[in-house]
Structure 1
Amino acid sequence: MSPKQQRGEATVEQVLDATLRLYASWGESGLSLGAITKASGVSSGSIYHHFGSLDGVVTALAQRSLEQLLTTLAEALLRAVDARSGIQAVVRAYLDFAQAHPDAARLMHSVTADREGMAHARQIRDSQEARLAPIALWIEAHQETGELADLSVPMIESLVLGPVVGAVRRWLTVGDIDLEEAGAALPEHIWRSVRS
């Protein structure tokens, strides 16, 4: 990587880190180009060059958080010795990630991230393919052994992640779900929904 590319990547990370700090302190209402410029020390021209717009910054930040989450989930899954322990590990890893990174989780589950996700779902999925492929292969391998239900990979993903996403959203917004309780209850219930 050339020095220019390294500087560009460092600038991107600087802007994303500053944006997450602003988001943590002020929510979406605190995100403006002026606030990000001031917090990051990066010029507005450079921000436009790297991200295209304020929405581009928020989308990139949500993408970075998603990338970190998917890496965490894949690592948990690939350490598992069987399908049951893998599914349960993914559920716990998601909950642990949300608890350890509540600001990133809040952004990933925000209206803005949802809107961008819906508008660019295929592009986002394609950009995360390297992280998703090992998960899909793991699911298929455990379907072949007869441990997982004979459902499409997207359906398995939905059955596993849907309840976890719902619990995390409720924890982040309403606050009436205890993630420790969710970590004790959800893994086994979710496993029952996808076992063969």
Structure 2
Amino acid sequence: MPRPRVHDLEALLDVAERLVASAGAETVTVRGLAAAAGVPNGTIYHAFGSLGEVLARVWLRAASAFLDLQTSLVDRASSPVEAVVAAADAPAAFAAVRPDGARMLLEVRGDRLFGPELPDELADALHAVDKRLVALLVRLARQLWDRGDGLAVEVITTCVVDLPTAFFRRDITDPLVRDRLAAAVRAVLTVPPPEKDRP
């Protein structure tokens, strides 16, 4: 009969998320994570296999929760333009409920966090998260301009990825920053994408 798990793995992932958000992924070690979480080093290896897998699961968990929230905000928006504004504001909304996860997603690139050596299951799950984001960007472009080509999606990407990253890098909690971001997104959307994709 297998021994029961006595450690809360979600709590361990919470600790890892906090460490990545506060000190950077490069500072996280198995020993440091185990000490911060109050578990033996072997628990991490037994439950996850490697530090890279722990960090991948931390990233996947936060990114999935963020996309759930972002999609919910888009669904509730009153117009296509306001849907893009809501998608752009999602990092701040996420930070209100999960500050460490929001900081980690804003400041740490996923591929630098967990590296290339991942089990297929995790790599597939991370790829699925990317596909969800792309699908949302295409959906927003179609709602606005009835098109989902590269140029249309590029404008939405500017609004939903590039601008929030630039605006929220300094302070994700400042209401004035959120207002400025919303104004910038609306301004970008006044110039529609060109009619044809570049070759």
Q: Same fold (TM over 0.5)?
A: yes
The structure with the largest helix share of the pair is: 1
What amino acid does structure 1 have at the position aligned with 2:139? Answer: L
Output the aligned Cα RMSD.
3.7
Corresponding position of 2:144: 142
> What does residue range 44-193 of structure 1 map to in structure 2 within 5 Å?
44-111=41-108, 113=110, 115-116=112-113, 126-128=127-129, 131-132=132-133, 133-144=135-146, 151-171=151-171, 179-193=174-188
* Cα offset, 1:165, TM superposition: 0.9
What amino acid does structure 2 have at the position aligned with 1:164? Answer: P
**Residues 149/79 of structure 1: CA separation in 2 closer, same or farther (3 Å cut):** farther
* Cα offset, 1:101, TM superposition: 2.9
With structure 2 as the length reference, what TM-score do the two structures score?
Answer: 0.69
Structure 1 residue runs of 5 or longer lacking an equivalent are 173-177
Measure the CA separation in 2 of the matches of 1:126 and 1:42.
Answer: 30
**Residues 143/170 of structure 1: CA separation in 2 closer, same or farther (3 Å cut):** same
Identity of aligned residues (%): 25
With structure 1 as the length reference, what TM-score do the two structures score?
Answer: 0.70
* Cα offset, 1:103, TM superposition: 1.9
Structure 2 residue runs of 5 or longer lacking an equivalent are 118-122, 193-199
> Are the counterparts in 1 of residues 18 and 101 from structure 2 also a CA contact under 8 Å?
no
> Are the counterparts in 2 of residues 11 and 42 from structure 1 also a CA contact under 8 Å?
no
Measure the CA separation in 2 of the matches of 1:74 and 1:179.
Answer: 22
Kindly tell me the number of residue pairs found equivalent between the two proteins: 182
* Cα deviation code 1:65-119 (max 9, x no counterpart): 1212111111111111311111122222322323543322222234564624886
> Are the counterparts in 2 of residues 78 and 138 from structure 1 also a CA contact under 8 Å?
no
